[in-house]
Amino acid sequence: MEFSSKLLEKAVNEMAQLPGIGKRTALRLVLHLLKQPAEHTHFLAGALTQMRDEIKFCQSCHNIADVAVCEICSNPARNHQIICVVEDVRDVMAIENTNQFKGIYHVLGGKISPIDGVGPSQLNITSLVQKVQAGAVEELIFALSSTMEGDTTNFYIYKQIKDFSVKTSTIARGIAVGDELEYADEVTLGRSILHRIPFENSLKNN
C-alpha cells in the first residue's frame, strides 16, 4: 500500500497491529475518523491512553477494576469460599450475566499455552494456590474454555491443590440450550450422556 501521507500511513500501521484488523480495515477506520469531528479522535485516543495508564487489577481476584479490591471481592453478600477460576474479564462478565453464581472469581489472565509462549509463571496461579493453602476455600470451580490449553491449565492447578481439603469441579459440558442433537459433535454428545443429571434437577435450574 502506497500512502499519500506519512501521517495517514503511521495511523493505519498502528491500527493494523490490533488483532483481526488488516491494513484495509485500518484504512477504513482511520478515514472514518477523518470524516468525523476531531473530538471523536481525541476522545478515542484519550480513553485508550487513560485506560492503559490508570487501570488497576483487583489485588484479590486480579480482575480489572478501578479500585484496589473489586466490587465482587469486597461484597460481603457473596460466598468467598467458592472461587470460580476463569481466563479473563470477559468470562467474569459472561458468568455474572447469568445471575447463577454467588461466589467470587479468580482471573488467571490467560491459559497455559506453550505455542503462544505462555507458561504458568505468567498467569495468576501462585496467588490462587496460596488462597487454597490458607484453607479459606471450600470449592474451586474451573470455568476455562474446553480446549487443550484450558484442560492443561485446569490440570496444572489441580495437581498443586489436590492435597489440600478443597472440592474441585468444572462447569458442565454438554448440548447447549436450544441446540439440536443431530448437529452436536460426538465428544460433546458422549459427555452429555456420561454426565447426565437427574431429570428433576433440570427442572429447577432455569
- Binding site residues, a copy of itself, CB under 8 A: 1-8, 10-11, 13-15, 17-21, 25, 27-34, 38, 40-56, 63-66, 70-72, 88-90, 92-93, 96-97
Minimum distance between the CB of residue 17 and a copy of itself, rounded to whole angstroms? 7
Q: Using an 8 Å Cβ cutoff, are 85 and 106 in contact?
A: yes
Select 53 or 186, whichever has its Cβ closest to a copy of itself: 53
Select 31 or 148, whichever has its Cβ closest to a copy of itself: 31
Minimum distance between the CB of residue 119 and a copy of itself, rounded to whole angstroms? 15
What's at 146, amino acid-wise?
Answer: S
Select 13 or 170, whichever has its Cβ closest to a copy of itself: 13
Select 52 or 204, whichever has its Cβ closest to a copy of itself: 52
Residue 120 per-residue DSSP state: G
Q: Using an 8 Å Cβ cutoff, are 195 and 172 in contact?
A: yes
Rounded Cα–Cα distance for residues 62 and 147 (Å): 22
Minimum distance between the CB of residue 187 and a copy of itself, rounded to whole angstroms? 26
Select 48 or 193, whichever has its Cβ closest to a copy of itself: 48
Select 28 or 162, whichever has its Cβ closest to a copy of itself: 28
Q: Which grid cell is 2?
A: 502506497
Task: Compute the Cα dihedral for 81, 84, 88, 91 and give only its sign.
Answer: negative
Q: Using an 8 Å Cβ cutoff, are 79 and 104 in contact?
A: yes
Alpha-carbon radius of gyration of the chain:
22
Q: Which residues of 24-45 are buried (b: 16+ CB within 10 A; e: fewer)?
A: eebbebbeeeeeeeeeeeeeee
Rounded Cα–Cα distance for residues 48 and 169 (Å): 37
Minimum distance between the CB of residue 103 and a copy of itself, rounded to whole angstroms? 16
Minimum distance between the CB of residue 80 and a copy of itself, rounded to whole angstroms? 17
Minimum distance between the CB of residue 60 and a copy of itself, rounded to whole angstroms? 13
Return the biggest CA–CA distance within the chain. 68
